[in-house]
Amino acid sequence: MEYSLSDFRVNHGEALDELQMQVLAVMMKQGLVTLTRMAQDGTRVRASAGAASFRREPRLRDFLAAAKEQVEHVKRLSDDPTVTARETAARQRAARVSTTDPEARVMKMGDGGFRPAFNMQFATTTEEAVIVGVGVTNVGSDKSQMTPMLEQIEERTGRRPSEYLVDSGYVNLEAIEEAEKKGTTVYAPPAAKTKGEEPSYEPKPDDTPEVAAWRQRMGTKETKDLYTKARGATAELVNADLKENRSLKLRVRGAKKALTVALWHVLAYNLMRWALLTT
């Protein structure tokens, strides 16, 4: 059986993941990677699906079940009083299923527009700028992405970072509480009630001790300075480098193949960092 270069590029996700773990293991053994402080950020990468291929009730049999499942999920969320109108609208956009890539979802992109995309997640060490964790999801929100990434980091390295920096889009009180209980101090600015307004850092009556400590910690000047300097120079810079300098794009369809593409980029990026750190 003959295989094309495209087949090779997307058919070896497990092998690439294993190779990525081996590279990290060697770098850690050489003292080139520390997990003391890490930052996570997501970036929406345009999916290989036409914007006009999305339908609320696709007639094609292969996509009908997926569409119904998404619509029912959105209906349940619309009845949830804890879900804001903005979140509901975003979920409704996500309910549209593409006839060319049914796993892609319409997401808000960096330029403010909405296009079919996947949400790629990267976790990076702040000192060496080495990518330790990578994930791909078709959920546009980052709110549920911190816990699985921390679990992945621990699985890959056998350790959890001491400090973890994420933006306000990741703020999930249960995730913060869980991370803190397991020894990871979370740095994430609370969301303000009104855009441009300073958020409140005072603990709330129903806060757990871990969440209360997080709020108070984020209100100090020392923490704000640390967060601004460390995170902006790490996670956001790495994401921009992958997309703008290394052409992180998707010419494949499906989350599994998208993850394989992400792993190729991460492997190449980390090998470059390895070379720079040893010169």
In tens, the pLDDT along 128-148 reads: 999 999 999 988 899 999 999
Q: Could you tell me which residues come within 8 angstroms of residue 222 by beta carbon, excluding any fewer than 6 positions away? A: none
Q: Per residue in 143-166, pLDDT tens?
A: 999 999 999 999 989 999 999 999
Percent composition of the chain: helix, strand, coil (DSSP 3-state, to 5): 50, 15, 35
Residue 159 CB neighbours (<10 A) = 14
| Number of residues assigned to the chain | 279
* β-pair partners for 166: none
Rounded mean pLDDT of the chain?
82
Regarding pTM above 0.85, the answer is no
List of residues 6+ apart from 94 with CB closer than 8 A:
70, 74, 105, 106, 107, 138, 139, 140
- What tens digit of pLDDT does each residue of 204-246 get? 999 999 999 999 999 999 999 999 888 877 877 787 788 777 7
Ranges of each domain in the chain: 5-47+123-273
What would the two tokens of residue 96 be?
Answer: 């549209």
Helices 85-94 and 61-78 sit at what angle, rounded to 10 degrees? Answer: 170
What are the CA-CA distances from residue 80 to residues 69, 173, 195 (Å)?
Answer: 17, 18, 24
